[in-house]
Each structure stands twice: as structure tokens, then as C-alpha cells.
Amino acid sequence: MHVLNWLGPGIEARVYWVRGGPVALQEAEEAGRLSASSARRIAVEMPLLALEEAVWRVGFERFRDAEQDPRVVRTQRAALADASEMELVAARQELLERWMQLRWEVHGRHSMEVPDELARTARNTEVHGYNSDAVTVRERTLHVSVPLVAGITLPDASGRNWPVADMLIASEGDGEQWRVLLEAPEDTPRRQTIAAIRIDWPANVSVGEALDQFDREAAPGVDWRGAWRWILGVVLARQSPPAQA
């Protein structure tokens, strides 16, 4: 999975971060040591470096804790002050990707391969009989290799669909919220379509009700319910039969 193999911010960003972060970057640009384009390219990596430091203060329990860390917020405001709305959305997703990658490493680098038979049947999992309290990811952060037969796809910017090959699932808090990264490699080396989704599992709510709420908030154009059914089918197959709602 590309996200798990990513080395994070480059050496230039790390050097300027040690020298003073966005302030050092601005000074280098004003002094002519950096072009505007180079400074902009390095600036987008600064919040990721602030995140790397923040997680050792606030832990990996919830992404929100790291994202809202005061230094992360200050760095975003300084480094991305001139960014467009689209660039801000992309920067936030990169922040989430880096957090999930680091969390996966801290939690033991757990991965699983899904047999083709389970991959075929998981999308038809009947979820309405399950209570959300019974659905757990015991590893807290789990990488799942997705076989082609699962039939889960993501569109790229031009609308072309690509098969999802990997998922990274993070269960936050006591399991009341999951975040999932779906990654679909494209036909160009090192190029992927990556989507991030989140679902809330309120206490004593049926899985069906939670999925209904997610459907109302999900972005159109992707079979998110099918993706969630597949994820839940895989997770439920790995644990003891849960209590019925």
C-alpha cells in the first residue's frame, strides 16, 4: 500500500522545520535562496511535520486530537495561508494519511489477506441484525489487502474507475468511530486514487442505522454502502458471533 510505504515529508522540509518552520521558509524565499514555487512545495509538508511532533504529545487515540493540536493549527495557517479550498482539502487528507500510517506502525503493523471466497461474499453481508457495539477491530489499526474479486472501485479525477487494492482501517476511542483509507493504484507508476471515509458507531445503535446515517452524508458517485458491507463482512468473519441488536 502506497500510504504505508510513504516516507513522509522530504529532507528539505525537515531542514526548514528545524530552522524555524514556516518563518524560516518565508525568510529563505524573501532572501532569494528559494523560489516561490519551491517554497510553496515545501510549505505544504510543514503541517505534516507538526503532526509528527503532535502525536507524541496527544497520542494516537483520535485523529481529531492531533489535527486540532495548537501547533498543527498554527502551522497550517502559516504554511497554507494562500492555499485554495481544493488544496486545503488535499492537505487535510494528507494529514489523515500520515496519521493513519504512523498509527499503523505504532500499533504493530498488522495486515491481513482476504481469501477470494470471503472477498466474493463479504459485500452481501446482512448487517441489520448486528449492534454497532459488537463490531470491533481488535488491532486498532489494520491493513487489509483487497482482492480484485471484491469489486470495490474508486473513480479518478476523470471519472475512470479503478479497483481498490488496499484498505487501512483505524478504530478510534472505544470503537465509536472508524476511519478507512481506500487505495486504488492507477496505470501510472506510483500514482493512486485514495479516498478517506469515516463512520460513527453510537452506542446501542444497529449497524443498519449507522449505515443509513452515513449514506445521507457520503459523497455521491461511489458505492459506499457496498464498500462498508464488504469491510464489515471481513471484520465480522474474524471475530466471534456478535450480540444481535
- Tell me which H or E stretch contains 200: strand 192-200
Q: What is the pLDDT of residues 93-135, one digit of tens each?
A: 999 999 999 999 999 999 999 999 999 999 887 777 788 777 8
Q: Please, are residues 176 and 198 in contact by the beta-carbon 8 Å criterion?
A: no
- Is 28's pLDDT higher than 90? yes
Instruction: Give the pairing type, strands 192-200 and 177-185.
Output: antiparallel
Residue 71 burial by CB count (10 A; 0-12/13-18/19+): exposed, middle or buried?
middle
Q: What is the pLDDT of residues 8-27, one digit of tens each?
A: 999 999 999 999 999 999 99
> 133: Cβ–Cβ under 8 A, 6 or more apart, which residues?
175, 201, 203, 204, 243
With cut-offs at 50, 70 and 90, classify the pLDDT of residue 244.
very low
Grid cell listed for 141: 489499526
Residue 83: which of 45, 26, 30, 40 has the closest Cα?
40
In the chain, what percentage of residues exceed pLDDT 90?
Answer: 57
Weakest-pLDDT range from 56-60, 134-138, 239-243: 239-243
Residue 193: which of 225, 170, 159 has the closest Cα?
159
Instruction: Give the pairing type, strands 166-172 and 141-145.
Output: antiparallel
pLDDT, mean over the chain: 88
Residue 183: which of 153, 148, 219 has the closest Cα?
153
Q: What are phi and psi of 26, to 5 degrees?
A: -65, -40
With cut-offs at 50, 70 and 90, classify the pLDDT of residue 223.
confident
Give dist(CA 121, CA 25) in Å, integer: 52
Q: Please, are residues 134 and 243 in contact by the beta-carbon 8 Å criterion?
A: yes
Give dist(CA 219, CA 230) in Å, integer: 18
- Is 148's pLDDT higher than 60? yes
Q: Please, are residues 28 and 34 in contact by the beta-carbon 8 Å criterion?
A: yes
Residue 230: which of 136, 116, 115, 121 has the closest Cα?
121
